Amino acid sequence: MHILENEALSFAIADKGAQLSRVWDKTAGCERLWSADPAIWNRHAPILFPFVGKVINGKYRYGGAEYEMKTQHGFARDMDFVCLEEGPDHLCQCLCATEETREKYPFDFRLLVSHRLDPENPRLLHIEWEVTNEGKDVMYYSIGGHPGFMPPEGVNKEACLLGFPGKEQLHYISANPSGFALPEILHELTLEDGRTSYKETLPETFIFEDSQVSTVQILRPDGSPWVTLRCEDFPILAVWAKAEGPFICLEPWRGRTDNAGFTGEISEKVCEQCLAPGATEKITYSIEFHD
């Protein structure tokens, strides 16, 4: 476990999955990230790579061949990253393709994950992913974040508001009980001053596509900000929670779960990313933990 800290916050990042695992608020004296209680949801803030969500029947197709991907959200979240660089305000970890990964994902990749404290705002954390195609063919992948945030102490998540600054109305899709998207059913979400009551949406998964959302917030019941996630690099934003858990997940995605009934190749998946041989893509988002 690696620690980055300043006068306001202390961040713990694990080598397993390069996962942000604790955010201790020194001012408020409380934990800001979900504890990963295995009885409810055993993750804190996993990185979703090289798939976001599920593939139908645990299988997908590429180049005329069929591959198995039985786990949801790919495999990076369960693998050990190597720490390449560590300083008092930054950390960089790396995961590369192995014989094991090639059996289920036939691409040579390198994934660098960087966490960095902001030099001016002690409550702001920057996350950067650098994806490189080290193979000889075009590489297809999805990637996403899945941080679970705790509400203010003494406040139930159902009492919190969701904020979408500058928005009056959004449209979203949801997923069926098996976790596959239903794009043919489009829902409308009307906002009041860019806000909506979270209890009205619980416990659905909301998937906002088409780059509608570049900033999303968890707000206190009085409307003041508690967490702000900025995700301009992401065409999809999901909001998810479990009814029995106290946390709310704000999830920036590049790619998503299969559509219900999808039978195409990986290259035909919705919002699938691709990289030419030797190419690199840098993707960033930030999280502000307000006091």
CATH number at residue 183: 2.70.98.10
User: Both tokens of residue 223?
Assistant: 């409307």
Residue 171 has a pLDDT of: 96
pLDDT, tens digit (0-9, with 9 covering 90-100), for 275-291:
999 999 999 999 999 99
Instruction: Name the amino acid, one letter, at 245.
Output: G
Whether the predicted pLDDT of 245 surpasses 70: yes
pLDDT in tens, 73-101: 999 999 999 999 999 999 999 999 999 99
pLDDT attached to residue 203: 61
Mean of pLDDT over the chain: 95
Residue 80 lies in domain = 2-289
Nearest by Cα to 233 from 255, 256, 211, 250: 211
- Residue 202 is predicted with a pLDDT of 61
Does residue 199 have a pLDDT over 90? no
pLDDT at 51 over 80: yes
pLDDT at 251 over 80: yes
pLDDT interval class at 184 (50, 70, 90): very high
What is the structure's pLDDT at 243? 85
Instruction: Please tell me the total count of domains within the chain.
Output: 1
Q: Please report the beta strands in 59-176, taking only residues with DSSP state E, as ranges in sequence order.
A: 59-62, 65-68, 82-86, 90-96, 109-117, 124-133, 139-141, 143-145, 148-149, 161-163, 169-172
Residue 3: how many CA atoms within 13 Å on its side-chain side? 5
Report the distance separating Cα 158 and Cα 163, nearest Å.
14
For residue 170, give every residue at least 6 positions away whose Cβ sits within 8 Å of its Cβ, in sequence order, or none. Answer: 164, 188, 189, 191, 208, 212, 213
Convert the pLDDT of each residue in 118-151 to its tens digit.
Answer: 999 999 999 999 999 999 999 999 999 999 999 9
Identify the three-state secondary structure at position 200.
Answer: helix
Residue 205 — very low, low, confident or very high, per pLDDT cuts 50/70/90? confident
Among 197-206, 230-239, 266-275, the minimum mean pLDDT is found in 197-206
pLDDT confidence bin for 204, thresholds 50/70/90: confident
Question: Residue 116: beta bridge partners?
Answer: 90, 126
